[in-house]
Structure 1
């Protein structure tokens, strides 16, 4: 893990690169506990020496930020990417509860809407994986009780089972063919013994017609689970058909002349409108290969200075 992180995308302080949020106070919380800040185990793992105390870390960080002035905030956003996006969903209402009732508090999750889905071999790999995380980290007591009162704790690590009960305004940013989910949920480790999916996993453009049919089915299943959010006015979503994972912290994705768009809005513009109550945004892209605005992974580094 590097000693420094460059603030880019939604964290940038350049109004040309981040027009809505450049002058906000921004705090980046480094993440390494593996349990989306839900862990709470007193004992240290005797084999690895690891501490599974993510929930305690989240608590003390929030206490520190409140003491430094966040308690007087008029606007506040909780956001994160990937496991941080899942953190955003799981902690959204708790974060809202830390601030005054007069504050406008919203959450937006980037690439954190992981779905409970069978892999291509017919096994429930990700369901068991998430269950093992919850057990290892002692996460059950820090997951939404509205879910754990009716389901096994491991299932409450999936947004589809908790997001509908969230009372705080929530925005979901996700690719329908999320790169991580394709590689680790649909084509899970061990599911592709013959390696026939290697090229397809590297880029959706390499997929055979049969593989693309499987991916289109995965997209439809993802959208089915997303719809559990309901039509509420406090929900927003930007679901594009790009082959990507995390789109808020890379400048090429976030905002610029070549950034992905839905209804002619960049991600930054759509989220900015929603956060600042300018306009609702609830749009889903057409299936691949319709979207011509997607950013190629190979272009990200070269476009950082746009």
Structure 2
């Protein structure tokens, strides 16, 4: 498979630019992927194709519902010509929720309910149908699977008292089954991609995706900004690990994590993709930039770990970091 846009740039820290008004400012924030951002920057000059939302009508019967119990959905643009038999699936990102309070808040947004999802979204970047913007995939069947569970499509439990459905794994399965019935089962090539929380999901589900197809189908996976730091923050705590622990416990994620990992590691550690990559059999592309201001703010120097604000300016602009702060970031 020809992937001209894919580069592997893995560093100790990762940086994602703020593009077109989207910014990762918290665990429940949203963002454009590197590939979508490329297309979004051209959207002013070239009107992007708007693609309608399709709700998965038989999902509820399978218990595959968003946090609030509404139907999950996706946006599908049919392929044509030489790409008519190839499929690209993009898993939407948008943080996670790790406790009842944040999940209740989330279910009142497009990240937890299809009631609030846009009826149409622009297909840009890797989803674009413009051959100049997207020479490799412009005429493929392209799908944007909406994210409405809060655990990277892996949870499977519920909280009846809070009226929360944690059914990410079932949403994944129902969506794949629906798409297979619409022609994906005969794909010649298939690429599973995702950004941020969706990038994590593309790693977690990579081998599952491969197993959907016959051996003759060329299948690969792409994670865009899906690697997250499991490190001590400036106060000596592990902020992101503690956060992920809440996600894994609350949403019943353990049962859907790869057995090759949870057989020897704590389930929370298996939600960090760096502990999974070595056991993934399907070809996997990793795209991460060298510095990520979000990870500095959320993982290394979150406000709770820096009550005096010593790190505030540094987290907003690494050019304002002291030599000692730079040394800490590079360890």
How much has 1:175 moved relative to structure 2? 1.9
Detail structure 1 runs of 4+ shifted over 3 Å in the superposition.
none
Q: 1:154 and 1:176 mapped to 2: Cα distance?
A: 25
Give the direction of change, closer, same or farther, for the CA distance of 1:45–1:178 in structure 2 (3 Å limit): farther
Matches within 5 A, 1:13-92: 13-41=129-157, 43-47=158-162, 49-92=163-206
Q: 1:87 and 1:34 mapped to 2: Cα distance?
A: 11
Q: 1:8 and 1:192 mapped to 2: Cα distance?
A: 38
Between structures 1 and 2, the one with greater helix share: 1
> Any gaps of 5 or more consecutive residues in structure 1?
218-306
Q: 1:99 and 1:118 mapped to 2: Cα distance?
A: 41
TM-score scaled by structure 2? Answer: 0.63
Tell me: higher relative CO, structure 1 or 2? Use CA pairs within 8 A at least 6 residues apart. Answer: 2
Between structures 1 and 2, the one with greater strand share: 2
Residue 327 of structure 2 corresponds to: 213
Give the direction of change, closer, same or farther, for the CA distance of 1:32–1:206 in structure 2 (3 Å limit): farther
Q: Is the 8 A contact 1:115 1:159 kept in 2?
A: no
Residue 121 of structure 2 corresponds to: 5
Q: Secondary structure at the match of 1:153?
A: coil
Q: 1:214 and 1:197 mapped to 2: Cα distance?
A: 11
Quote the RMSD (CA, aligned, Å): 1.3
How much has 1:45 moved relative to structure 2? 4.2
Choose which of 195, 214, 227 in structure 1 pairs with 2:309.
195
TM-score scaled by structure 1? Answer: 0.68
> Any gaps of 5 or more consecutive residues in structure 2?
1-109, 111-116
